Chain A
Amino acid sequence: MTFGYSVHAELPDFLVTDDEVAPPRAIRVKVNRAPSANHTPGEPGLWIFILGDMTLFGAFFIALMWEKRQFSTVFQTSAAHLDRPIGAANTLVLLLSSYLVVAATWAHRRDEHQRARRYLHGALACGVVFVAFKAIEYTQGISAGHTPTSNMFFTMYYVLTGIHLLHVLIGAGLLAIWGMSLRGRRSFTASQRLTEGIAVYWHMVDLLWLLIFPLVYLVCAA
């Protein structure tokens, strides 16, 4: 009794691999998913929230300038105590983070997931620096006796920057979610609305600080 047999003879034709045929090479396709004309970034519904949020901040800016007229001297002397270099540094930190988020959006559009994640980590690091600077600023202010109940200026300063800080924290959480979703290497088309929505939110956080810093730290002190 013999067990010797020819492998190929026993197998049907379609299971026999032909070593002569080279395996197909991975095809690299250059993807270009630049937004088309008239493209609404993210969800249309998101914009109701974004514009509503911006309108609330806008009302706050007008109230701030109104109160500055009423309590001109209090506003001048109080705003002069704010740590301007930290505020200015935070402007640059948020501008850098926004640029990194733009870079991450474009990398994701090209399906360069690794790259997009690196940029998002950079943007997140900027968010952490912003929060750290803010913590230093609040600590210094409170230990110098400037609390939310000190006067009208400090009430408005803490409320305005506090609500903005909350936006930074939410935005950082969203950037982290985006970064984690990139691990699944989902294509941009599949996650476009989420991705663009998060990017728009983060840019809004930046946009609002570009107004809060000059209005609260510089104009109120003038």
Chain B
Amino acid sequence: MRLGVPARTTAIWLILILASFLTWWLGTNDSRDQLSDRVMIAAVVVIAFLKAYLVGMEFMEIRGAPTVLRALLTGWVGLLAVAVTTLYLA
């Protein structure tokens, strides 16, 4: 069935679904090795913020919005991603 959604948006949506399964695998996988566990959880954080960025850019249509809106979304995602990852790892 054709839903009438631009192909690019559908592709992004499929990436979001796949990223969710990857998050599940990384986040629930207990490797019994502390270092690799930390790396995997850090990856979960980074993937989560990338997903949020994609939802903002594509679904909220910020990609085609004025520069100030794009800068605000990018700033919000970037600052939070750095802060949360640092608080987790440091």
Contacts and interface: CB of A to CB of B under 8 A. Distances in A.
Contacts of B79: 58
A20 B50 CA distance: 65
Contact of B64 (A35, A207, A213, A222): A35
Interface in A46-89: 47, 51, 54-55, 58, 61-62, 65-66, 68-69, 84, 88
A106 B4 contact: yes
Interface string B12-26: 010011001001100
Interface string B54-77: 011001111011100100100010
Contacts of B20: 88, 91-92, 95
A39 B61 contact: yes
Given A61-B84, A62-B87, A95-B16, A37 B59 contact: no
A58 B80 contact: yes
A214 interface: yes
Interface residues of A, number: 49
Interface stretch (A131-139, A181-189, A198-206): A198-206
Contact of A102 (B24, B44, B52, B59): B59
20 contacts: A38-B65, A39-B65, A41-B61, A47-B69, A62-B80, A62-B84, A62-B87, A65-B84, A68-B88, A91-B20, A92-B17, A95-B16, A101-B59, A103-B4, A103-B5, A207-B56, A210-B51, A218-B28, A218-B41, A219-B44
A219 B5 contact: no
Interface residues of B, number: 42
Interface of A: 35, 37-41, 47, 51, 54-55, 58, 61-62, 65-66, 68-69, 84, 88, 91-92, 95, 98-99, 101-103, 106-107, 110, 112, 115, 119, 196, 199-200, 203-204, 206-207, 210-211, 213-215, 217-219, 222
B17 A207 contact: no
Given A40-B66, A41-B62, 16 more contacts: A38-B65, A41-B65, A47-B69, A54-B76, A62-B83, A62-B84, A84-B28, A106-B5, A200-B60, A204-B60, A210-B55, A211-B49, A218-B23, A219-B41, A219-B44, A219-B45
